[in-house]
Structure 1
Amino acid sequence: MCGRYASTLPPEMMVELFRLLKGVEVVPRYNIAPTQPIVAIWEQEGRREAHFARWGLVPGWVKDPREFPLLVNARVETMAEKPAFRDALKHGRCIIPASGYYEWHTNPDKTKQPYFITMANDRPMALAGLYASWMGPNGEEIDSVATITVPANPQLSEIHDRMPAILDGEAIENWLNVRDVRAHHAAQLALPLEDGALKFHPVSTRVNSARDDDAGLIEKVEVQKPEPRPRKVAGGGQLDLF
């Protein structure tokens, strides 16, 4: 599960890399947490723009977002079936620019060690996501997103059994093209990256607090190498009701 990430890409570079018609002004963030506003990119009527959206998807059919569970991640295995995600998979696909993300390894003594995970070539990440727009009875509107998770590749399974779906090149184009690429074919783009595509290092447990947000959070600290985790059978997980 991806529950924290960093995004330090300058706005002008984001416009260039992702071919945006319109960007947004942002500052470097090192500890982005659920429920916070994040930058997401999607296409509408052929226009690809960056938007601010709440991290935690709220489907349009929800009556009161305050009474709805927090949907931070959508599992690739079940997102096409669950009412909370299936419409967004058809019409609301997006990407979330990131510099890297955090994951926690559970040690034998049940303590958890955070790791910062980045692309091995140091390029920015494009996390696959889903977005929805909720309209309230008084005209209020909430744009919200969820990131998509896939089974971890063997390299990342040393830390956790899940990882975010990370897109690149033509996969980004097809994922965002909701006009021509059907949900079934788009879902096949959300795959684990191959071994060696990512690198990771342990970081301070300060990242556990969303109140901390500084460049020191992504710096390497010295800890013992994590013991390999047993692979889990797919299925179960977050909010199977939806």
Structure 2
Amino acid sequence: MCGRYAATLPPEMMVELFNLLNQIDFPPRYNITPTQPIAVVWEQSGRRTIQLVRWGFVPGWVKDPREFSLLINARAETMAEKPSFRDAVRNSRCIVPASGYYEWMKGKDGVRRPYYITMADGSPMVFAGLYSTWSGPDGEEVDTACIVTVEPNLEISSIYDRMPAMLTGENVDLWLNTRDIDTRAATQLALPLPAGSLKYHPVGKAVGRTDVDEPALIREMSAEELAAEDETRARKPKKAAAGGGQLDLF
């Protein structure tokens, strides 16, 4: 699952990297969470633009999005057959620019700790995504998107059993080209990156809070800081589990 990520690329850099026809003012984000606006790039009639959409895919055939499950990820292995995604795999593919993403790993002590994962060479990440435009009964329209996931590569397998499908080189262009690249060819682009492509480091648990979004979230924590954070957490009284069917992203 990819349920938290950071996107800090300047708007002008995204225009240059992805040959965009437009630019949007999107401030650096260090803790992007589901249901929030995310910047995605898609191509229509050969024209490539960047748009702000809701993270949480809603197929066009859904009658009431409030009663539909939150789809933040699509599994690459099954997306072409799933009713929710199959039309988007053929006609509505997008990319999601990112600087890095977070994943939680359970340690030997049973404690789950967040890690920040980036490209080993420091380059931007390009997640494969799918988008949809939902139209309401009163004519309102809402653009939504999700991130495609695949099995983990060697380094990520020690943290979690899934990872975002990341595109590099000409695969970015091929993924966006829904005119010439069909469903079968597109699914073959969504693959784990080769071993050695990524690096990661432990970060503070504040990233688990949806109300925190600051550069300090991606800073590598030292062993002493990690121990102090765990000790502080252990001293705090445990809160009663919240009710109401709250979705647990991790």
Does TM, normalized by the shorter one, top 0.5?
yes
Matches within 5 A, 1:70-89: 70-89=70-89
* Greater alpha carbon shift after TM alignment, 18-27 vs 56-65: 18-27
Residue 115 of structure 2 aligns with which residue? Answer: 115
1:155 CA drift (Å): 1.1
Whichever residue aligns with residue 138 of structure 1, its letter is D
Residue 17 of structure 1 aligns with which residue? Answer: 17
1:109 CA drift (Å): 3.7
Q: Aligned pair count?
A: 224
The separation in 1 between residues aligned to 2:65 and 2:5, in whole angstroms, is 24
1:168 CA drift (Å): 1.0
1:36 CA drift (Å): 0.3
Residue 156 of structure 2 aligns with which residue? Answer: 156
Secondary structure of the residue aligned to 2:85 is helix
Report percent identity of matched pairs: 58
Residue 214 of structure 1 aligns with which residue? Answer: 214
After superposition, the CA RMSD in angstroms is 0.9
The separation in 2 between residues aligned to 1:145 and 1:111, in whole angstroms, is 31
1:112 CA drift (Å): 1.0
Secondary structure of the residue aligned to 2:84 is helix
Residue 67 of structure 2 aligns with which residue? Answer: 67
Secondary structure of the residue aligned to 1:81 is coil
Whichever residue aligns with residue 89 of structure 1, its letter is V
* Residue 184 (str. 1) matches residue 174 (str. 2): no
Gaps of 5+ in 2: 227-250
Q: After superposition, what is the alpha-carbon deviation per residue over 1:177-230, rounded to whole angstroms, capped at 9, x for unaligned?
A: 000100110110000001111110000000000110000000001348xxxxxx
TM-score by length of 1: 0.91
1:80 CA drift (Å): 0.6
Residue 230 of structure 1 aligns with which residue? Answer: none
Secondary structure of the residue aligned to 2:95 is strand
1:111 CA drift (Å): 2.1
Matches within 5 A, 1:1-242: 1-223=1-223
The separation in 2 between residues aligned to 1:53 and 1:110, in whole angstroms, is 36
Whichever residue aligns with residue 71 of structure 2, its letter is L
TM-score by length of 2: 0.88
The separation in 2 between residues aligned to 1:29 and 1:155, in whole angstroms, is 25
1:22 CA drift (Å): 1.1
1:106 CA drift (Å): 1.6
